[in-house]
Structure 1
C-alpha cells in the first residue's frame, strides 16, 4: 500500500481553514492511491472502543481505510491508549488523520503522539501583520500575481477573517483576465465593505470624528453587523492604540514595532496619526467603556443600539478630555 497509508498524521492548530486544507490534501492523496478506500470522518467525542475498532478496520468492499478523527481534544480519556497504539502502528491499510484545534485540552495525548514521532502538520493562527503575506501566498498558490501594497489594500477592505480573505482572493482571480490583482480590482469588488465594519466605527472613534462614527455605527447595525462584533472591534482598536503608545518611544523598526503592537506594518501610520489625540489614561478609560458596552450587548442591557451609541460618544469624549491641557 502506498503513502499516506500505514501512517498517522496529527494536524494541530486553531486556524480551521488551514486545518481543513491539510485534511483535504491528505484525503486526496489517499483516495488517489486507493480509489476504493473507505473514508470515515468522526468527532472524537462520539467515539467508544467499539466504534474506533470498527472504523479503523477494512470493510467487505475494501481493505484500505482512511479515518479522520476531528476535535481530538474531546477524545474520551479511556481511548487514549487505543488511539496511541493505532497512531504508532496504523497497519498497512490504514491512513489515520487526527485533528486538534489547539489549546491545552488534550495536551497529554498530544505529548504522547509527539514522543511517538507521529507526523504533524501545523495550522497556526495567522497574526494581523501576517495577513498581507498570506494574501500574496494565496494568490501565488492559485497561479496569480499581486504586489505587497495591493495585498494590504485587500486586507484593509475585507478584514482579518482568514476565510473571507481567501474567498476574496478566489473571487478576484476568477474575475481578472490576466490573473493579476490590482488596487482597482479590490476597490471595484469590495468598496464599501470596510465602511460598514466594526473596524471603521472604531477608526472614527479613535479619530474623534463623532458624526462619521455614529453614521458608520447606524449603517453597520442596519446592514446586520452583530453588536458584539462592534464592541469587539472598538476594544481591539483601543488595545492596539494603548500598546502603540507604550512602545512607540522604544526606537524599534517598523516591522518590530508592528509585531510588538500586533498589527500589520501598514497600520502603524494610522496609529501614529490617531495617537496624537490620546494619552494612556484616556485609553484606559475608553477600554473600560468598551468592556461595559460589551457586557450590555451580550445581555446585561436592554438596548444594544443605545449601548453602542453611548460607547461611541464615551470614547470620543475620553479622547476630547485627553486633548485638553
Structure 2
C-alpha cells in the first residue's frame, strides 16, 4: 500500500473509541468484540477490503498485494505475534487477524498487552474477541492504545433487525417494501445469519421490488408457522387460525418455549401501547418499531384492560409450565393460545 494511503487510513481511525462494523477502517490495532459472529466477520472483511481496495469517499488508496496473516489466540505460543507483525522481505503492507481471543492463551495476553503499548504503524492487527472477561488486561491495553473498538453484540429488537434487513437490501442494490421486511423479521428474525442469507437469496433469485408475495413464495412455509404468526392470530381473536398455525409449528419441530415467548412479546407490545395512550411517548421510547405501534393500536380495538390482564396471566403460567413447571408443554402452550384468542374477543 502506498505510504500516503497507509498514513491516511491510520489518521482516519486514530481517535479510537467506538467504531461501526460497516465503516471501520484499518488502524494499527482494531478490536472487534461481541458474541454476534456475523457482525464480527463483516467488520474483519471491511478492514481487509479497505486495506486492499481503498475507500474513495475517505480518500484511502488500497494495496491489492496486501499480505494477510491469520492467528488463533487459543493455540497461540509466545513470540508468534512478533513474527507475524515483522516486516516482510519487500516491506509489503500487512494485516494480521487474530481470532478466538475470548479463549486466548496466557502467552497471547502477555504478548498483545506489550504490543498494544507500541503497535507497528505500518501493520494492522485485528483482534477478534467473542465476549466475556478472558484477557481483560489485554483488552484494557488495546482500548488504552486508542484503537477503534467495534461492538458486535446480538441484535435483539425487531426494529433493529428490520433496519439490518433494509440495509442488507440497500447494499445489494435492491428495493424492498416495508411489509416484506416485516415478514422476513417475523419469520426469520432470531438468527441474523439466516436473515442475511435470505436477503442474499431473494436479491439473487428475483427481480423488481421485493414484496410480501415474493417473501411468501420463498419462505411462506417457514414464516407462516412461526411463533410470531401464532401470536398475531391469537391477538386478533382468531382462535382457529392460531391453533392451526401452532400445531403446524409444533409438527415441524418448533419448541414450546420460544412459542410462548412470542406470545409474551406480543402482549408486552400491546400493554406498552395501551399504556402510552395520552402519554406522549413514541415508538423509540417504547422500544418498538413504528409499524409495531401502528399494528398494536389497531389490535387494541378488540381488547379490554381485563382481557389483556387475563391473557398476560395465562401466558405467564404457560411460561412456567413449558420450562418445567408443568407435565405437558404442548398442552400448556395450546391452552395459552386459546386463552389469548378468547380474551381478545371479549
TM-score bracket, normalised by the shorter chain, equals 0.7 to 0.9
2:316 to 288, 293, 300: 288
* Structure 1 residues 149 and 303: CA distance shift in structure 2, 3 A: closer
Displacement of 1:86: 1.9
Partner of residue 91, structure 1: 120
User: 1:196 aligns to what SS in structure 2?
Assistant: coil
Partner of residue 28, structure 2: 7
Partner of residue 244, structure 1: 273
Matched residue count = 309
For 2:100 and 2:83, the matched residues in 1 are separated by 21
Partner of residue 191, structure 2: 161
Contact 1:71/1:99 (CA < 8 Å) preserved in 2? yes
User: 2:224 aligns to what SS in structure 1?
Assistant: helix
* Structure 2: segments with no counterpart, 5+ residues: 10-25, 54-62
Map 1:1-325 to 2 at 5 A: 3=6, 7-28=28-49, 33=63, 37=67, 39-42=69-72, 44=73, 46-47=74-75, 51-54=77-80, 56-58=82-84, 66-75=95-104, 80-91=109-120, 94-102=123-131, 109-126=138-155, 127-177=157-207, 180-252=209-281, 256=282, 258-275=283-300, 276-279=302-305, 281-296=309-324, 301-316=326-341, 319=343, 323=346
**Deviations for 1:202-259, whole angstroms, at most 9, x for unmatched residues?**
222323332222211110011122333212222222332332233233123xxx2x22
For 1:217 and 1:282, the matched residues in 2 are separated by 20
CA-based RMSD of the aligned residues comes to 3.6
For 1:305 and 1:56, the matched residues in 2 are separated by 57
Contact 1:27/1:66 (CA < 8 Å) preserved in 2? yes
**Deviations for 1:150-172, whole angstroms, at most 9, x for unmatched residues?**
43454345435322322222111
* Structure 1 residues 107 and 293: CA distance shift in structure 2, 3 A: farther
**Deviations for 1:93-128, whole angstroms, at most 9, x for unmatched residues?**
753212234567766654443222012233344432
* Structure 1 residues 143 and 52: CA distance shift in structure 2, 3 A: farther
For 1:59 and 1:265, the matched residues in 2 are separated by 49
For 1:266 and 1:6, the matched residues in 2 are separated by 39
* Structure 1 residues 23 and 294: CA distance shift in structure 2, 3 A: farther
For 1:277 and 1:306, the matched residues in 2 are separated by 25
* Structure 1 residues 200 and 293: CA distance shift in structure 2, 3 A: farther
Displacement of 1:295: 0.8
* Structure 1 residues 270 and 6: CA distance shift in structure 2, 3 A: closer
* Structure 1: segments with no counterpart, 5+ residues: none
* Structure 1 residues 31 and 293: CA distance shift in structure 2, 3 A: farther
Displacement of 1:7: 1.6
Q: TM-score, length-normalised on structure 2? A: 0.73
User: 2:124 aligns to what SS in structure 1?
Assistant: strand
* Structure 1 residues 230 and 187: CA distance shift in structure 2, 3 A: same
Deviates more, 1:120-129 or 1:62-71: 62-71
* Structure 1 residues 167 and 131: CA distance shift in structure 2, 3 A: same
For 1:292 and 1:169, the matched residues in 2 are separated by 36
